[in-house]
Structure formats: structure tokens, C-alpha cells
């Protein structure tokens, strides 16, 4: 499964009702650090496609979701399991640190 574009319309179905843990990447097109993290997120999505779901949320297009998660800085990564936030991380992280968010 490739990376999903998460919107207000599909958030409940794709994230809150997901049977698998979900890694969300809050980003914006003007954000340099977001561009550094994006290919890593894509790699994680490909490698872990059988065990997690990965979604990206553009904060400029989905302000309500950014507000709901109280996003103050980007990139912000959030891991959701069973509809609850279990991990979050702000800033650029190496791949192993992102993977460790998922295994906690």
C-alpha cells in the first residue's frame, strides 16, 4: 500500500477505524524539513505495508485536522493505534527513529 492522502473526508475511515496502526505525517509544500522526511516516510510505507498504514496530511489543505492534533511545528509524525495517539515526534528524524516510533 502506498501513502494515503488523508483529508477530513477520509480521516475517520482510514485512521480512526483502521485495524492497523497508522503513521501520519503532517507536512506542507513550503516546509524544507518536510521535504527531507517525505522520502523516508515513503520508504517506511513500502517496507511496512503489511503491518501499518501511512498517511500524509497537508496542513495548508487540512487546517481542521492540524488544529485537532494541535500541530505547532512540522514535520510532525503521529502514530495512532485503535483510534488513540500512542506516539508523536516533531522534526526531521532518521529512518531508524521513525521505525522505532512504530515499534513502541
Q: Rounded distance, CA 93 to CA 19, Å?
A: 26
From 3, 15, 23, 34, active-site residue: 34
Local structure of 82: helix, strand or coil: coil
Active site residue: 31, 90, 92, 99, which one?
31
Ranges of H-type helices in 1-104:
8-11, 32-47, 63-68, 95-103
Work out the number of other CB atoms within 10 angstroms of the CB of residue 42: 15
Catalytic-residue membership of 25: no
How many CB atoms sit inside 10 A of residue 3's CB? 18
Query: Is position 45 annotated as part of the catalytic site?
Result: no
User: CA–CA separation, 37 vs 26, rounded Å?
Assistant: 11
Which residues are the active-site residues? 31, 34
Amino acid at each position: 500500500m502506498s501513502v494515503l492522502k488523508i483529508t477530513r473526508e477520509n480521516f475517520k475511515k482510514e485512521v480512526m477505524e483502521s485495524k492497523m496502526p497508522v503513521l501520519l505525517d503532517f507536512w506542507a509544500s513550503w516546509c524544507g524539513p518536510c521535504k527531507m522526511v517525505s522520502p523516508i516516510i515513503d520508504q517506511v510505507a513500502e517496507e511496512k505495508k503489511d503491518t501499518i498504514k501511512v498517511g500524509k496530511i497537508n496542513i495548508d489543505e487540512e487546517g481542521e485536522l492540524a488544529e485537532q492534533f494541535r500541530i505547532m511545528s512540522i514535520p510532525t509524525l503521529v502514530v495512532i493505534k485503535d483510534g488513540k495517539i500512542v506516539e508523536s515526534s516533531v522534526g526531521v528524524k532518521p529512518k531508524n527513529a521513525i521505525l522505532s516510533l512504530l515499534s513502541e
